[in-house]
């Protein structure tokens, strides 16, 4: 049981899903690919942690709709209540930003522009996702129903962070602009 396995169980705790669905959904919160997920699903099934229902389709391969077993639910509970390890973050952009000081203005401008574009796209993406969640809620004439609670709070978190990122970019631009002259002199020493 590695962390990705528990992630799959987490998603399956809301509703039965296929490997394909899981691949798409988990990527909102956890970087992975189908090549890592399909083999794990097979293992989890062999160990009786999840079960599958075959759904025949024409043209496409048969769907394997997975759901948690009792054993899977128990495992999930144990994991949720155990110690949580630190986040693994590997962001190439961060490493590049560290070098802002040794870049000329064009390069620095380009990099910050790239980052701002990324944040802008994220803001759109997460706003859309929240709108979608809210419209799904209205169908049941409630506010966010329990089954969507996790997705809702995490999407809101991601949106907060993207908005904060945008502000940070502006702050850095201002700082950088003030330092113009000292940077240039460093460049030629």
- The residues binding DNA (CB under 7 A) are 2-4, 18-21, 24, 31-36, 38-39, 41-42, 57-64, 88, 90
66 forms beta bridges with 17, 52
Angle, alpha carbons 148-52-65 (nearest 5°): 50
Structure tokens at 26: 């988990």
- In the structure encoding, which two tokens stand for residue 189, read together? 């020493």
Residue nearer to a second copy on the CB measure, 62 or 149: 149
Q: CA angle at residue 53 from 44 to 34, to 5 degrees?
A: 50
11 binds a second copy (CB under 8 A): yes
CB 168 within 8 A of CB 119: no
Quick one: which of 60, 70, 88, 141 contacts a second copy (CB under 8 A)?
88
User: Residues 37, 23: contact at Cβ < 8 Å?
Assistant: yes
Q: Is 177 an interacting residue with respect to a second copy (CB under 8 A)?
A: no
- Nearest distance from residue 106's CB to a second copy, in Å? 9
Q: Which chain residues interact with a second copy by CB under 8 A?
A: 3, 6-7, 10-11, 13-14, 29-31, 76-77, 79-81, 84-103, 107, 110-111, 114, 145-147, 149-151, 153-154, 156-157, 160-161, 164-165, 168, 171-172, 175, 179, 182-183, 186
């Amino acid at each position: 049981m590695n962390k990705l396995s528990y992630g799959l169980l987490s998603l399956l705790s809301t509703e039965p899903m296929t490997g394909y669905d899981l691949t798409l959904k988990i990527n909102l919160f956890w970087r992975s690919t189908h090549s890592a997920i399909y083999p794990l699903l097979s293992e989890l099934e062999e160990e009786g942690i999840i079960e599958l229902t075959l759904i025949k389709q024409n043209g496409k391969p048969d769907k394997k709709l997975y759901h948690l077993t009792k054993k899977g639910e128990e495992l999930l509970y144990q994991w949720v209540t155990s110690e949580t390890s630190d986040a693994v973050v590997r962001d190439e952009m961060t490493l590049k930003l560290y070098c802002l000081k040794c870049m000329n203005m064009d390069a620095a401008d380009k990099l910050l522009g790239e980052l701002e574009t990324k944040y802008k796209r994220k803001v759109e993406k997460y706003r859309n996702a929240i709108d979608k969640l809210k419209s799904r809620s209205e169908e049941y004439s409630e506010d966010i129903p329990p089954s969507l609670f996790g997705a809702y709070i995490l999407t809101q978190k991601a949106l907060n962070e993207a908005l904060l990122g945008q502000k940070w970019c502006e702050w850095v631009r201002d700082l950088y602009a003030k330092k113009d002259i000292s940077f240039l002199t460093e460049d030629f020493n």
